[in-house]
Chains A and B, each alone.
Chain A
Amino acid sequence: MGGLLIILSIILIFVVLVQIGRINEIAVGLRGKEQAQRQANNRNAVMGLVFMVAFLIFVIVSFFAFKDRMLGFGPHESASHHGGLIDGIFLTTLIITGIVFFITHILLFWYSYKYRGQKGRVAKYIPHDNRLELIWMVVPAIVMTFLVIGGLSVWNESMADVPDDMKHGLNEGEFLEIEATGFQFGWLLRYPGATDFKLGTRDFRNIKAGYNETGQVWTDEKNHDDFLADTLYLPKDHKIRIRIIGRDVLHNFYLPHFRVKMDAVPGMPTYFVFTPTKTTEEYRESLSGYPEWQAMADPSDPENKFKKWETFEYELACAELCGDGHFSMQKIVRVVEMDEFKKWYNSKKSFYSTEVNPPKETEVLSRETSLEEGHGGEEGTHTGEGHGEGSHNVEGHSTEESHSGDHTNGTHTSGGTTTHTEGTHTEETHSGGTHNAGKADGKEGTNAGKATTTEEGENKGKKGKIIKKIFNKGKKEKTGDH
């Protein structure tokens, strides 16, 4: 009934408008065509002028009303080094185009008003003026030259790859390469382990859903220390090179606050190099000065005492249509100081060491610990399949004996390339949850295959040294991105 009423009233509006149109047409006939046209000229010319003034005011007012939400303005200054340059050239372009916008709109509507048709006026016969043509050709050309030069210098700096002689690592003057794999619908974030800081090779044929999501090739030793993370942790003021992989269709690795955007293309890795310059904490601080960020984070929840700026997180999004779930490919990005980053980094356990080729003893200990912590049930549910598949990937890599033996000594000898805090093996194994990133539910680690690894592990080959190294870096992983 309500719907019918709405439809009827809409029809009525149209009928009324059409009738007004008809009546006006009759009125034109009565008044005479000439006079009616003159009246129309005056009315519409004035309308144009009013529109212009209102529009230009709207442009200015609305810009300042939304300024603080836009990237590059207010609190949203860039959180990366090259992003600041981009914001600079953006502002330059905005000012130049803004001036042109105002001048041309004022001229357009002012001339329309001033030269509206009037009795006795004769239009000027000005077919062309080559001098003027030259001016409005040369001036834009010069302005464009500056914008092209400015833009391209920023572009080439933003897109520059790391220098050839730059080393992988976390020390000053080194860079960290992280792999982001886009899939329907989410991101897998793979970090190189601290042994070599190099990402191992991947092959899409090796991908096992729910197990080896990125398709790591276990025969490549560089893979043995790689780990997956659920949150994109980045160290402040350190060069980051993101290797972007599309696993199924096109995706786009998009970090709005860092002005980073690059397509993920199946069959062709792409790269984006950038340097984060503000930690999440620092960014929150800068937001706190703005009233809209002082609002409660979740007004619907009275228990939640946090203000909006306190819960701010950088985000990773997809910016290339990739299917039904395109809008949901979110990950949290957290920038921290290098010390804190190293703590987190060293706490991460490689997938290889926990799932593919784990030590026996560790397993046992780990299970006990887990049980103590009340995680036993969780673990139990995921044993089996994951492990069964994993074992064939690592055939003959290490024996359980050498593995556990090395490991016992390893904890205190620490041959790793980076600093690491001490930790017990038991908990590091527990932290094997890093491989979970591909899980649809996004819950923390499932510790797949833990129970059965013990038996399987006995058939493994001999790569104890690597395992040892990995274990040496062990530390407790309790916080982080759970």
Chain B
Amino acid sequence: MANVDIHAHEEVHAHDHHEDHDHHGDKYQSNFITTYIFSQDHKMIAKQFLITGIFWAFIGAAMSIVFRLQLGFPEESMAWLKPILGKWIVLNDAGMGTLDPEFYYALVTMHGTILVFFVLTAGLSGTFSNLLIPLQIGARDMASPFLNMLSYWFFFLAGAIMFSSLFLSTGPFAGGWTAYPPLSALPQAMSGSGAGMTLFGVSLIFFVVSVLLGGMNYITTVLNLRTKGMTMWRMPLTIWAFLVTAILGLLSFPVLVSGILLLIFDRSMGTSFYLSEIFIQGSALDRVGGSPILFQHLFWFLGHPEVYIIIVPAFGLVSEVMSVHARKPIFGYKAMVYSILAIAFLSFIVWAHHMFMAGVNPFISNIFVLFTLIIAVPSAVKVFNWIGTLYGANIRFNTAMLFSIGFVSMFISGGLTGIFLGNSAIDIPLHDTYFVVAHFHIVMGIAAFFGMFCGIYHWFPLMFARYMNETLGKIHFWGTLIGAYAIFWPMHYIGMAGVPRRYYTFANFEAFNTFAPINMFISTAAIIVFGLQILFIINFFYSIFKGKVRTEKNPYGANTLEWTAPVHAGHGNWPGAIPHVHRWAYDYGKDGIEFIPQTVPLKEGEKDMGAH
């Protein structure tokens, strides 16, 4: 049976059930607005998340270029940015333009907030959870398409509020994306802590609503709407990753809301959850008894799982793409699942490793060091499994595969520096230096972006029925790989020299001001890498309209269900019956057959890897 042509088999399968042809696409997609704007089709919502994410990534990256100009070329005039940044560029008599320090901090803050929440949370897990969960588990849509639609629009609203804060006369919030009080609680501490912080808080609360609506939907869909035969152990690793991500989000994001809510109380209702013994702007506040550290606990109880909310979907995407293009099953499927679960669990009990130097009892840190460094074990398992997947493979080098290999390289480089920072003793000199900047940008910034790019290049044909341009994609990959290391690798050295992060200028310190040439190098590399991302954006939008047309259902020879849907799948995904699943997702090269889709029944006596 398995020796017959697989495509033929699928056709037969589909034709068998043509009578129960019940895709309900038409009712909900009758006009332009319900098709493209308030769409309830998970595929369209995925595209909305992706394109909004690209918009925010562009804004966030452009901000980083402005502050990198300040750091790399402090002597150069920025007067040419005056038309865009207006009063934030201060001109002196000679016409030399300098960036306002307050706006420098606003840029740093917004860059972090936008990238962490809007791009790497919504843009990454929002896009691919929406696109792949129903298609890969064999569901017609999410459990609640309506909530799914709301999830996007709450995200949009959060974004709109944050965007509007950029235009305030007092400037957007500028106290760092972590928004530590009292700086964020007291408008007199910084002008961005006025209206800017209010909008920042409101925006994040709406964002959490979006994440929760999405997350509940993802979990319900994965648990309840799997097609016949799709047991948990037959799910592709992408689905495992999205499921775990959604659970992480559901359990941790509400804590952020509580933290921000108390902050809003402190700001506007005269409470003092976070305030105590403060003398500011010439007067003593009469509110005492709070603790700024409480906020840090609440924030990092979200904040640490958050970095796994960012990276775990990338784990899933990379594992799936790597397996497909290596033409080989992912090495140690169950070990991969268990390591994701272990990392997710541990991510809830390590939050205080962001607070070793915050004034927390040093004894408590012992426990957090222990749990933090334990994460290295499941992470190592993942890395070795990816390398094991490549061993003995027959690798098809396309852009998606390149990005998955690049991801592993970034994850190794960034992960290993985590072993330094997770060890509280070494964190004493390194905390809040450029070493930390290098670490988290590589491991959750660049690595997560590589996972996202790997997913976009791979599933672009599924989303738009066209291919992205491979040549431009490869230029994008190699340029970004080299460029990203050029930006962030030298930051390790600056950090090891003790240079603190979030400094507008290093001129005031003899110990920190000797790195001008490296900073210039980093900024130049950043500008080039930014240009390469614009190339990606051009490629993306060009390919939507002009890319090579996809004609075949399953262009990569992949096993998962999304490639059994028609090229132009309507709402409901499969015109006929939903396909049934008979095996796990990774039968590549089994018994000499290049790939055996999940829809192909097991042979007599054949053992399924996904069976218990």
Contact = CB atoms under 8 A, between A and B. Distances in A.
Nearest to A329: B508
B33 interface: no
Given A22-B469, A89-B425, A326-B504, 4 more contacts: A101-B416, A112-B395, A128-B331, A317-B500
Contacts of B395: 41, 45, 112, 115-117
Contacts of A252: 357, 432
A444 B373 CA distance: 49
A185 to B, nearest CB: 10
Interface string B459-488: 000000000011110110010011001000
B186 interface: yes
A312 B279 CA distance: 34
Interface stretch (B144-152, B263-271, B374-382): B374-382
A290 interface: no
Interface residues of A, number: 121
B462 to A, nearest CB: 19
A72 interface: yes
A85 interface: yes
B472 A256 contact: no
Given A63-B493, A97-B417, A325 B101 contact: yes
A174 interface: no
**Of B409, B412, B539, which is in contact with the most chain A CB atoms at under 10 Å from its CB?**
B409
A296 to B, nearest CB: 14
Interface of B: 80, 101-102, 105, 174-176, 180-183, 186, 189-190, 275-282, 284, 288-293, 326-329, 331-335, 357-359, 362-363, 365-366, 369-370, 373-374, 376-377, 380-381, 383-388, 390-398, 402, 405, 408-409, 412-413, 416-417, 419-420, 423-426, 428-429, 431-433, 469-472, 474-475, 478, 481-482, 485, 489-490, 493, 496-498, 500, 502-506, 508-512, 514-515, 518, 531, 534-535, 538-539, 542, 548, 586, 588-592, 594, 609
A12 interface: no
Contacts of B505: 327
A367 to B, nearest CB: 30
Contacts of B281: 248
B280, B383, B426, B432 — most chain A CB neighbours (10 Å): B426
Nearest to A202: B277
A150 B510 CA distance: 32
Nearest to A98: B416
Contacts, number: 376
Interface stretch (A216-224, A258-266, A470-478): A258-266
Contact of B182 (A55, A144, A154, A266): A266
A181 to B, nearest CB: 10
Nearest to B534: A14
A136 B381 contact: yes
A267 B280 CA distance: 13
Contacts of B105: 321, 323-324, 326
Contacts of A266: 182, 275-278, 292
A267 B185 CA distance: 15
Contacts of B548: 25
Contacts of A311: 510
7 contacts: A21-B472, A51-B482, A109-B409, A127-B609, A133-B385, A248-B182, A322-B183
A48 B534 contact: no
Contacts of A249: 181-183, 186, 189, 278, 280
B374 A111 contact: no
A204 B279 contact: yes
Contacts of A205: 284
A409 to B, nearest CB: 40
A240 to B, nearest CB: 15
A151 B426 contact: yes
A261 B472 CA distance: 46
A327 B369 contact: no
Contact of B332 (A93, A104, A128): A128
Main secondary structure of the interface of A (DSSP, over half): helix
Nearest to B493: A66
Contacts of A122: 394, 589, 592, 594
A480 interface: no
Contact of A107 (B280, B363, B387): B387
B183 A323 contact: yes
Interface in A413-429: none
Contacts of A381: none
A250 B299 CA distance: 15
Given A21-B539, A90-B426, A249-B280, A40 B397 contact: yes
A310 B419 CA distance: 37
A111 B190 CA distance: 53
A317 to B, nearest CB: 6
A312 B175 CA distance: 32
A86 B189 contact: no
A114 to B, nearest CB: 9
Nearest to B411: A104
A17 B278 contact: no
A44 B180 contact: no
B433 A133 contact: no
Given A86-B425, A156-B366, A250 B292 contact: yes
Contact of A127 (B390, B432, B586): B586
Which residue, of B189, B366, B383, B384, has the highest number of chain A Cβ atoms within 10 A?
A: B384
A324 B329 contact: no
Contacts of A321: 105, 175-176, 180, 183, 502
A201 interface: no
Contact of B402 (A44, A147, A209, A257): A44
Nearest to A140: B380
B194 to A, nearest CB: 13
A53 interface: no
Given A90-B429, A263-B359, A108 B409 contact: yes
A261 B431 contact: yes
Contacts of B470: 21, 24-25, 28, 40
A184 B332 contact: no
B393 A111 contact: yes
B183 A204 contact: no
A66 B334 CA distance: 43
Contacts of A118: 394
Interface string A357-376: 00000000000000000000
A101 B500 contact: no
Contacts of A319: 357, 431-433, 500
Contacts of A268: 276, 291, 293, 359
A268 B420 CA distance: 28
A21 B469 CA distance: 6
A97 B416 contact: yes
Interface string A225-249: 0000000000000000000000111
A115 B391 contact: yes
A253 B369 CA distance: 22
A394 interface: no
Contacts of A324: 101-102, 105, 174, 190, 504
A123 B510 contact: no
A83 B498 CA distance: 13
Interface string A78-110: 000001011001100110110011001101110
B526 to A, nearest CB: 16
A149 B493 CA distance: 26
A352 B548 CA distance: 82
Nearest to B80: A3
